[in-house]
Homo-oligomer: A and B are copies of this chain.
Amino acid sequence: MNNDEYLKNYKPEKYDKLSLTVDALIFSIINDKLCIRLVKRNKPPFEGLLSLPGTFVKINESLEDAVKRVLKEKAGFSDIYFEQLYTWGDVNRDPRMRIVSVSYISLLSEEALSNVIKKEETDESFLDVDYILDNPQLLAFDHYKIIESARKRLAILAEEYNISFEFLPKEFTLPRLQKITEILLGHNLYKANFRKKIQDKVISTNTYTSGDAFRPSMLYTVADKDSFKV
């Protein structure tokens, strides 16, 4: 049997099929707190509880395209950073039917956020991650476990890669970069040490902030997004 004949006679139905979703963990820093986009479920199961924005993966759509669709449709963003986190495949993770979910971490700058979502809406739909992690009963499905896992990953990404840049606009100050990193790590850093560590990853623009009631701060841009491994 040659290849064409084989493909012609192939019956896809002889293998089990199941539903696949992608879930997006859209993080942003709001008022110096790490927040995550969650939606309130308006139907069973878990009606009234919070869940990650997600969608079913279409048969002719890559996982990345499905994530982009979620980010655009459910959050209004395009061209933002995301990366795969983990795939969750317990048999009973959804009480309705067998659904396997591929979760993606996505990072949003405050700037990008304010461009799309009104202030009041932001307060509703982006929730403090610390608060969420203290209240597991608020989450639907296995989404608490997923958020927990993503929270740990973010700390690693801040420590070993320089993921903090993704939360900032094109130009930023070092105090701000340090603050973001501290939020992601969960502890404070020494200013001088932090600057020594990241000095090769930023480029001075030779312009300064202004208007604040204190000393202006130098604005920087990212040096090389591809060489971020410490």
Hey, which chain B residues are within 8 Å of A86, CB to CB?
84
Residue A77 lies at the interface, judged by CB distance under 8 Å to chain B: no
Hey, which chain B residues are within 8 Å of A168, CB to CB?
none
Within the complex, the shortest CB–CB distance from A56 to chain B, in Å, comes to: 5
Residue A213 lies at the interface, judged by CB distance under 8 Å to chain B: no
Q: Is the interface of A mostly helix, strand, loop or mixed?
A: loop
With A3-B47, A87-B87, A87-B102 already in contact, the answer to whether A60 and B10 are too (CB < 8 A) is yes
The number of times this chain is found in the oligomer is 2
B7 pairs with A95, CB closer than 8 A: yes
With A20-B18, A86-B84 already in contact, the answer to whether A59 and B102 are too (CB < 8 A) is no
A10 pairs with B100, CB closer than 8 A: no
Mask of A1-25 contacts with B, CB within 8 angstroms, 1/0: 1110011101010011111100000
Q: In whole angstroms, how far apart are the Cα atoms of A7 and B43 in the complex?
A: 11
With A18-B18, A96-B7 already in contact, the answer to whether A62 and B87 are too (CB < 8 A) is no
Listed in ascending order, the chain A residues whose CB lies under 8 Å from chain B are 1-3, 6-8, 10, 12, 15-20, 43-45, 47, 56-64, 84, 86-87, 89-91, 95-98, 100, 102
